[in-house]
Chain A
Amino acid sequence: MSDNQPNSKAYHYLPTMSRRDSLKWLSVLAASAVLPGVVACTPNSTSITSSVVGHWPDLKLTPISSVGYGKDPNLIIPPRSAWPRTLNAEQLTLVAMLSDILVPRDGDIPSASEVNVPDVIDEWVSAPYERQQNDRPNILNTLAWIDDEAALRFGQKFVALKTEQQFAIMDDIAYQTEQTPSEFSRIAGAFSVFRQLVLAAFFCSPQGTKEIGYLGNVPIAGDYPGPSDEALAHLDEILNKLGLSDYVYTEQS
């Protein structure tokens, strides 16, 4: 695994933010003592149904009350901070660390946190819209669950764990299959929501877009050139494998 894995207590994710945001953020930080801790999540108190075993933070989240950007936002200069961000410093740092476990630095290709994925997550969970509000409890409970689990298993917050301890937890929650032990099935589902969003935010970044191989959004002066020779040759292989070589498309009359 990556040597760059940030796992010291000194690590803090630094979001891209204005000074005004920073000041607001500091006041949030001061109030963040209410971050859910181990006390609130003994296994017995948090079982949701009889089929669910294991602990669950079951955070009592205050609904997002801010308004959206409206039905006529400026599309040329999109609003940068349409609503207040809600993740505190500790949560953002955990998001950054988890993002980098999901998408670590890969040679010259940056990790998720290096392309500001945590900022996108913060914007997302803080947004007033339905899709984001549905994701919010999944993501915030995931963060709380992971710290709870880290504390239960190793007596520390996740970010303070040794790399192999972090991966031990990841290995339990990052796979959602029929074999997933029941105590991890719920967190595996919630974690997959977080993973999907981290991937989306990563590939939307300029470096991520390059990494996935999107080559469009550039103006073409002449006719659309169509598929490359390599792509056409690959299609021929596919058609051959599928027994479709006799059915190659030709334009009508």
Chain B
Amino acid sequence: MALLKHDVIIVGSGAGGAMAAYELTKAGIQVLLLEAGRDYDPLTETPMFHRNADAPLLGSGNVDKDFGFYDATVDGGWTVPDEPYTSAEGSDFMWWRSRMLGGRTNHWGRYSLRFSEHDFKGKSRDGLGADWPFEYKDIAPWYDKTEALVGVCGTNTGLDDMPDSAPGVLQPPPKPRIPELLVAAAAKKLGIPLAPMHRAVLTQPLDNRAKCFYASPCGRGCSIGAAFQTTTSLLPMAKATGKLEVITNAMVRAIDTNAEGKVTGLSYIDKTTATEHKLSARVVILAASACESARLLLNSKSPKHPQGLANSSKQVGRNLMDSTGAGIGAQIPLLRNRPRYNEDGHTANHLFVPWWGHEAQARGELNFPRGYHFEIGSGFSAPGSWVSGNFQGYGKALKDEAKANYGASVSFALRGEMLPNDDCYMEIDDQVSDKWGIPVAKFHWRWSQHEINQVAHGLQTAKDILTTMGAEVGELPEPEKAILKGGQIIHEVGTTRMGESPQDSVTNQWGQTWDCANLFVMDAGVFASNPHKNCTLTIMTLAMRNANWLAGQIQQGVL
């Protein structure tokens, strides 16, 4: 078993890859982790407390820093220099990438909601999409372990959309704030409950990570480790075992196989020298992100795997899903000139609107099959490059109007489940290669009527809540225009989905590809469906469970 220096090579250091590295090294297995981006140190690189005025252009976003100057993302965003992607005619897909140790976990929203049995078995219920190849009870203990390790604040609500965690797992959530409490009352009148958001933010210390001090937006990263990212938790913990080696700036070009079609290792390009290197390993785990891993498989053709590696089902790149997204907001006149206090909190939702429509859907009262939730936009936020209000005039009256408007707007961001459809997939664009000579991903995208109907329902519901809060909302936009672009919510999943059968899925429930026993996928590519609840917690939970299973296979000599 120790013939190779590394038993396992992992591609990608984000949510899935870092969790796999943590779990495997903890089990004593030698792991080499490759990251396409540069090394990154949150301790020294996070702009904690920096004010927007200290950044160029008041910290506002642009093509270099899409989510604002201070966003943690390095060398990425909607575009990556020298690494393009393409879209088919009529398709408009946006692909967020980062090129840094820790990947997108350095900036993610930290919303961490469990999928439920309802979510895992959608097809059994309504005949659409695909079921997952396990039940909620199989994964529930792994959610508990992941939440305890990651550190998630929230409560057990008993709501049907929010499965309970084991007692003692969740950390206490922070107190709700004024606009959230107003939304909660208005929604309650309409029969819609609000609940504490579950967030991967510590409200109590954990390991050597400090608790949140309720300042500095989490999207910048968190130098004190309160907001979870792999660079302050899983990666240092895995390194501490002495079993983990990391190579950054390593862009994997292809997975290598032998004459029998078995995976032998991989080839990567050292971006700092633009030279190609080969590595061998007993097992390869892809955790490069759903579309990057699928791209790699499709680019790893061989006589044994003419359609790309692990693609005998022809499902690699198919079933691409994002969350639906749409937003609507209004000024709440009664919130004007409200008393000031520090409303930063943990800098994201303390309360949110979980999906409340399971029963209505079961009764056939809704014209769309899957649920959504609302995230609430509100608060006395740090001044930035935009001042809320429709301003007239000048002088003190103008300034007073801006002050009156401050913190008086509330918006609802819909995040919903979409179903896989034949028009949404990715493939390799054989006309375009990136700087490293690797053919790029080409996206195809079209929302179905399910998603349009869901967004229409969400807009009307948000309008009803805003109206109940005393706002004038006006005419709603057409849902076809209001729905955001594919990929824009950055929850892209499904391109290497898991299932019960090699005929219609790429991996089994362990993320092990049906075609190559020593090749695994541990990112969101394996998702069989895309529940509305943000994918990262489930990426990590699956990676923990499946890396644990893989460790057993290695230790038993099966792999």
- Tell me the A residues contacting B by CB distance below 8 Å: 1-2, 68-73, 75-76, 78-79, 82, 101-104, 106, 120, 123-124, 127, 129-132, 170, 174-177, 192, 195-197, 199-206, 208-209, 211-221, 223-228, 230-232, 234-235, 238-239, 241-242, 244, 247-249, 251-253
Contact = CB atoms under 8 A, between A and B. Distances in A.
Contacts of B214: 219-220, 224
Nearest to A132: B57
Interface in B219-277: 220
A211 B340 CA distance: 11
Given A70-B64, A174-B392, A203 B402 contact: yes
A244 B185 contact: yes
Nearest to B155: A251
Interface string B330-357: 0000110011111111100001000000
Q: Dominant SS at the A interface?
A: loop
Nearest to B345: A224
Contact of B470 (A219, A234, A242): A242
A121 B91 CA distance: 37
A69 B64 contact: yes
28 contacts: A71-B65, A71-B80, A72-B38, A78-B50, A78-B54, A82-B56, A102-B398, A104-B395, A129-B57, A132-B62, A174-B393, A175-B392, A199-B402, A204-B53, A204-B385, A214-B340, A215-B340, A215-B342, A217-B215, A226-B175, A226-B176, A226-B177, A227-B181, A231-B338, A234-B338, A242-B334, A247-B184, A252-B159
B174 A224 contact: yes
Contacts of A177: 392
Contacts of B50: 75-76, 78
B504 to A, nearest CB: 39
Interface of B: 38, 44-47, 49-58, 60, 62-65, 69-70, 74-77, 80-81, 155-159, 172, 174-178, 180-182, 184-186, 188-189, 193-196, 203, 212-216, 220, 334-335, 338-346, 351, 380-387, 391-396, 398-399, 402-403, 406, 468-470
From B155, B188, B334, B395, name the one whose CB has the most chain A CB atoms within 10 angstroms: B395
Given A131-B60, A217-B382, A224-B214, A249 B52 contact: no
A208 B392 contact: no
A82 B62 CA distance: 14
Given A234-B178, A238-B182, 17 more contacts: A69-B64, A76-B50, A78-B54, A106-B396, A106-B399, A120-B58, A127-B57, A129-B62, A174-B394, A195-B398, A212-B383, A212-B402, A217-B216, A217-B344, A217-B382, A239-B185, A242-B186
A205 B53 contact: yes
B380 A216 contact: yes
